[in-house]
Structure 1
Amino acid sequence: MIKFFRKIRQNLLMENKTGKYFKYAIGEIVLVVIGILIALQINNWNETRKQINTQNAIYLIVKEDLETDISGFESFIYEYNKSKKPAFEAVLNKELTREDWENNPSYLEVMKGYEDLAISKRGIDQLKKLSGFSNNLEEGLTSDINKFYTKHILEFNTGTDELGEQFTRNYIYFQNFDWYASFLMQHKTDGFIDSFYNEPTIKSRIATLYFIYRIYITDLENYVTNAKTLIVNIDNHLKEIK
């Protein structure tokens, strides 16, 4: 093709048709420029298509993260409602006798620690690293995902920190009692039961812990509800592009 155009130029020059030569040369330049622009457009389209495919693959990872979190959080909520919540309500709202404590070891749930939870962030972390992430925050699925994680990570971290701090304060406080070591290591409850009736601050500490738990559980429930909605949105988006 290049030889063909070169031959035309040579013939025009040999025939002394300078005007036609320049017109032809300009036309050839225009064709070259158009070819370059088309090539750039195709390259840009390919890059955009590649980025969209990568983005959709990340959406699937986000979905997997959400499903993992939903499973873990729902299990945590179930166990809380099954054991800890009834224990808190019994200890705080009933006039428990020593016999009640001795016959219902479940009441001691108010003294136990809690399972560490974490929000899975593989997908959102990869999405933030994707080129053009900041340009997609105004609307669309990327925006919905970013808003979801921004809100719930803040709430989750705040709740986890408050719960951990209250447990730490309680453990430091209980370490001052002679019965604490035997209660912790041998599960002997006599000393704790005596202190529960004689030290009003113990009940206050348990009430504070219950209050924090209730907020924490509400945040987890909201996460689960909103995560399920987001999964539906991801599924709908992926169906539309097929």
Structure 2
Amino acid sequence: MENKTSKYFKYAIGEIILVVIGILIALQINNWNESRNTNNLSITYLNTIKKDLIADTTTFEAGISRFKKSLIVQDDILNIEKVNTLPIDSLFKVIAIETVFHSARIYQINNSTFSKLTNSGFVESKNFNDIFIDINEYYTEEYNTWLEYLEWDKENGMNPNKPEYLLGLYEKIDFLQFEKKTNTKSNQSINKEYELVFREYLKSTYFRNGAWNTNKQMKTMLERMKHQKNVASEMIEKINTELNK
């Protein structure tokens, strides 16, 4: 009986040990699976964020190109000698039709993937912890700073098309007629009085001071866009480095 009891006891202990080992193995396999899934999901997020960043660089490249062209034209408008000699139709199109005094509001950072990531409560794989810290800084510090620049640009920019800027001309120029005549192949039919008034408006202290202030502001925005493009490009390189490890 003692031998049977001893054997049974040893058998029971062995069974318990096997069960415990089985549980530990199952937990380990589950942890491996979770870790693998988290790692794969991290890679998916990194690739999607990289696409957003590439879109950002394209957006800012377009903004940089447009601002550079606008600033060149602004230099002509702020040059009194050129205002006196440039064709009136060219001057009118620049100011009243194809304005070169514009904001940067259409150039936005795409944070859709990052917002989805943070709202889901996602915790990245330990393998990518450092790069996700960098990404978090980009979409908090850089994103919020750019929004502040856009708000400043919106509040202080000049739009020559707005009635308040053209108020002094409304009683002297029929803009509908002026536009029609400037769109013709020959601008000889433009009322000389209209032409004189418009050129004097572009040379006025009122217009030049507003244009000068916006010119400075747009140069500041241009430099910030260059910075934003560079930062996004650097982030893309960091992600590529992590993905290629």
Give me the TM-score of the superposition, normalised by structure 1.
Answer: 0.75
Q: Which residue of 1 aligns with 2:71?
A: 85
| Aligned-partner Cα distance in 2 for 1:210–1:103 | 22
| Aligned-partner Cα distance in 2 for 1:173–1:233 | 48
For residue 92 of structure 1, report the CA deviation from its aligned partner: 3.7
Compare the two structures and name the one with the higher helix fraction. Answer: 1
Alignment counterpart, residue 162 of structure 1, candidates 137, 152, 155: 152
SS of 2:234's equivalent?
Answer: helix
Asked if residue 197 in structure 1 is aligned to residue 203 in structure 2, the reply is: yes
Number of equivalenced pairs: 223
Per-residue deviation, residues 62-87 of structure 1 (Å, max 9, x unmatched)? 111111221221122112212x1112
Per-residue deviation, residues 36-68 of structure 1 (Å, max 9, x unmatched)? 122112112111111111110111111111112
Structure 1 residues 87, 169: closer, same or farther in 2, change over 3 A? closer
Q: Which residue of 2 aligns with 1:141?
A: 131
- With 166-175 and 44-53 compared, the bigger mean Cα shift is at 166-175
For residue 175 of structure 1, report the CA deviation from its aligned partner: 5.6
For residue 17 of structure 1, report the CA deviation from its aligned partner: 2.2
For residue 103 of structure 1, report the CA deviation from its aligned partner: 6.8
* Structure 1 residue ranges, 4+ long, deviating more than 6 angstroms after superposition: none
Asked if residue 24 in structure 1 is aligned to residue 30 in structure 2, the reply is: no
Structure 1 residues 177, 23: closer, same or farther in 2, change over 3 A? farther
In 2, are the aligned partners of 1:92 and 1:203 still within 8 Å (CA)?
yes
Structure 1 residues 63, 20: closer, same or farther in 2, change over 3 A? same
Alignment counterpart, residue 233 of structure 2, candidates 201, 215, 228: 228
Q: Name the Cα RMSD after superposition.
A: 3.3
Per-residue deviation, residues 167-195 of structure 1 (Å, max 9, x unmatched)? 47863632643439955895477455333
Q: Which residue of 2 aligns with 1:38?
A: 25
Matches within 5 A, 1:1-242: 17-82=4-69, 84-92=70-78, 96-100=82-86, 102=88, 104-105=90-91, 108=95, 112-114=101-103, 116-128=106-118, 129=120, 131-133=122-124, 140-167=130-157, 171=162, 173-174=164-165, 176-179=167-170, 183=175, 187=179, 190=195, 191-198=197-204, 200-240=205-245
| Aligned-partner Cα distance in 2 for 1:63–1:78 | 23
- Mark the runs of 5 or more structure 2 residues left unpaired by the alignment: 183-193
Per-residue deviation, residues 76-112 of structure 1 (Å, max 9, x unmatched)? 2112212x11123333465554334727537536654
| Aligned-partner Cα distance in 1 for 2:226–2:15 | 67
Higher relative contact order (CA 8 A, sep 6+): 2
Give me the TM-score of the superposition, normalised by structure 2.
Answer: 0.74
- With 181-190 and 201-210 compared, the bigger mean Cα shift is at 181-190
In 1, are the aligned partners of 2:48 and 2:113 still within 8 Å (CA)?
yes
- Mark the runs of 5 or more structure 1 residues left unpaired by the alignment: 1-13
Structure 1 residues 154, 193: closer, same or farther in 2, change over 3 A? farther
Structure 1 residues 111, 221: closer, same or farther in 2, change over 3 A? closer
Q: Calculate percent identity across the aligned residue pairs.
A: 27
